[in-house]
Amino acid sequence: MKRLVVVDVNKCVGCQLCMLACSRRFGVVGHSKSAVWVRSAGGFERGFTIVVCRACRDPPCARVCPTNALRVRDGGGVILDMSKCIGCGLCRDACDIGAVMWDYEVGKPVICVHCGFCVNYCPHNVLALEEVS
Amino acid sequence: MDWFKSLSNVLYIDLTRKTYWVESREDLFSKWLGGIGVATQLYKEEVPRNTDPLGPENVIIFAVGPLTGLYPLASKTVAVFKSPLNGYFAESHAGGRSALAIRFAGYGAIVIRGVSDRPIYVVIEDDKVRFRDGATLWGMRSTETVGRILREVTSGPGHRTIMRIGRAGERLVRYASVVTETYRHFGRLGLGAVMGSKKLKAVVIVGRRGFKVPDIPTYRSVYDEVYGLAVKSPAMKKYHDLGTAVNVLALNSIKALPTRNFSSGTFELAEEVSGEKLAETVLARRVACAGCPTACVHIAALREPYPEEPYFYKIKFISYDHEPLYALATNLGIGSREGFLKLLDVVEEEGLDAISTGVVLAWATEAYVNGLISEKELLTKVSWGDYESYIKVVRNIVIQPNDFYKTLALGVEEAAKRYGGLDYALAFNKVEPAGYHTGPLFTISLIVGSRHSHLDSGAYSVDQELLASKKPLPTPQEAIERIIEEESWRQVLASLVVCFFARGIYKYEIVGKCLKPLGKSVSVEELKRLGRDIWVEKQLIKYSEGFNVLNVRIPKRILETPTPHGVIDENYIREALKYFDLIVNLSRKLKT
């Protein structure tokens, strides 16, 4: 299994092409379906913060889900079953690093599947896919 | 929601009544694409001919286009307003996160009308608009602090833009800028003063939405093609590596680098303030606009000790480019990188346009040396290279403690009209020029370009190409044809809206390809015609406001200091202007 990692946040230029790539997987242009989040670390002068799912082995988001909509993935992280999700937002609150994003248009979480599509569009090799056992 | 349908939404905000509403303007977007094409039409609807640029009737229009957020390098917002610097239709472009925030909030354009009775800032969060009290932010000395506070009191980090003005805008300095994301600017022609006149301290826009593209597989494959070009093409390399600061030595080597108020084309200390030297010594970080991989924004770290307290330092991060380097270094005889960065930092804090400010300082230096003004007016001595005095002058341009500074805040043309020194007051149609003294085509383009900006048609590079290929100058008529053709194509780019730095990538065929997945099929001929139509529309608006190229003053200094093409022949310029005037008049007749 693979997981998405931030190799070197200091090289990030804040172009957000990773965020755009993530939504583009669904044929959507925008940020609404993006599971990656790049924001300034207190203004552009301070560089950037990149939020991605760390693929926890024992993910707090899955533990708090009242409907078992989040299933633990082999190698870490979770898989979302949309049909079970009631959009309560507990998973979002449970993730300390804010990696459970929110799709405001449908009122449900956006969960990283560690596919690595965003990695292909990072012009400075800030993101990578890493093998996990 | 569908791509074009959401693009056609225009958000109207009335600052007087503190209300807002959305109108679908498919009529405009289907005909004029977006960006400058649509903004020009909105301006026609909104701004009556005799409007006072600083009165309630002036509007601020922000527009994006069909490619915004859709492809790499489509990362700019077009602002249109009536300029308080020269009194005509004005246009300014900026990136940062502004374009994507507007687009993903669900709009193609935003029109801001009226004037608030007290300082406010406006927060646009997707479909909601909030009018918030700006009294606490008003008068704050640094635009950076204003940004810092707004970051904390508004939501949407990563999905938002924070456009704000400094004290220069509040105090109506006619060349005040609007700062966005600390390092990007609606710099030229005084949008900051227009915001100030409306008591509008800032506009925060949060865009979190997403939109469907009709043909997804084609879209993905065209995206990959453009992305490949964006990261591999030599066309972007200049902006990518050293940034536009690479121009300093390039221009110096051909004697086209404006120095000490355009009195020379070479600067003996050019090496010290070159892009190469800056990268070697102070470059600390590079950042990009949202949606662009290039990262052309070059940020220097300036480490300053506190003189009275040992082992205390402050580190300031200041972004530099060719234009500030010309305006606030070479053209003021400043060869100290530290001095340049300190001066630029103050210009940024106050929210002033770096180019206009530098040209104003350069004129003031000569006027002082020539005895037209004294310490009584200037409240300090000034001399070439003395950046500490220049910092004092910049603060006073904003504070305006006397009549002299009140005049200086109106621009170099007004200052010279009152105090003398018009021959070396560098302005074309009241707009202070960018940093090139490459030859006659560039000079013509400053006069005829609809923004009087170097990027209207990029004629500085035509001058340089002619030089490199050792070709003779075109006839004045050919020069005009070339300038208009290029400027017309740029109207298409500014309607799509893509960054002009990406003009080497967005060529005719690519543009057509990019529009296809949106279900829009446009031929190259149609695009070219659209560009020309927009160009004509803009000329007719400016002419109706009283603009006439035949009346534009050409500063003597421009005609005295040799360019790489030798001394510019005034007759050549005048011939070109006559031909330009003829074309505009013909265009008007064809339209009526």
Which of A16, A34, A50, A97 is best to mutate for the B interface (most B CBs within 10 A)?
Answer: A16
Tell whether the model's pLDDT for residue A77 goes beyond 90: yes
The predicted pLDDT at position B234 comes to: 85
Provide the β-strand partners of residue B297. Answer: B287
A104 CB-contact burial (10 Å; exposed 0-12 / middle 13-18 / buried 19+): middle
The predicted pLDDT at position B1 comes to: 65
Enter the tokens of residue B253.
């080597």
CB contact under 8 A, A40 and B158: yes
Å between A35 CA and nearest CA of chain B = 13
Residue B550: DSSP 8-state: G
CA end-to-end distance (rounded Å), chain B: 39
Where do runs of H (alpha helix) occur along B469-523? 476-496, 508-515
Residues of B in contact with A46 (CB under 8 A): 317
Secondary structure of residue B267 in the 3-state scheme: coil
Which of the residues in chain B have pLDDT under 70? 1
Other CB atoms within 10 Å distance of the CB of residue A78 = 23
A21-61 confidence digits (pLDDT tens) = 999 998 999 999 999 999 999 888 889 999 999 999 999 99
Say whether residue B207 is in contact with chain A using an 8 A CB cutoff. Answer: yes
Strands A78-80 and A101-103: unpaired
Say whether residue A33 is in contact with chain B using an 8 A CB cutoff. Answer: yes
The predicted pLDDT at position B592 comes to: 76
Of B144, B209, B289, the CB nearest to A105: B209
Q: Which of residues 36-95 of A touch B (CB under 8 A)?
A: 37-40, 42-47
Whether residue B154 contacts residue B130, with contact meaning beta carbons closer than 8 Å, is answered with no
A91-115 confidence digits (pLDDT tens) = 999 999 999 999 988 999 999 999 9
The alpha-carbon radius of gyration of chain A (Å, integer) is: 14
With tokens 């957020």, the residue in question is B69
| Single-letter code of the amino acid located at B143 | T
CB contact under 8 A, B210 and A33: yes
Residue B77: DSSP 8-state: E
- ipTM of the complex, rounded to two decimals: 0.97
B521 CB-contact burial (10 Å; exposed 0-12 / middle 13-18 / buried 19+): exposed
Say whether residue B299 is in contact with chain A using an 8 A CB cutoff. Answer: yes
Enter the tokens of residue B439.
């030859």
Q: Is B73 left (phi over 0), alpha (psi -120 to 50) or beta?
A: left
The predicted pLDDT at position B63 comes to: 98
CB contact under 8 A, B211 and A29: yes
Q: What is the DSSP string of B118-174?
A: S-EEEEEETTEEEEEE-TTTTT-S-HHHHHHHHHHHS--TTSEEEEE--HHHHTT-T
Say whether residue A99 is in contact with chain B using an 8 A CB cutoff. Answer: no
Enter the tokens of residue A61.
């988001």
Å between B220 CA and nearest CA of chain A = 8
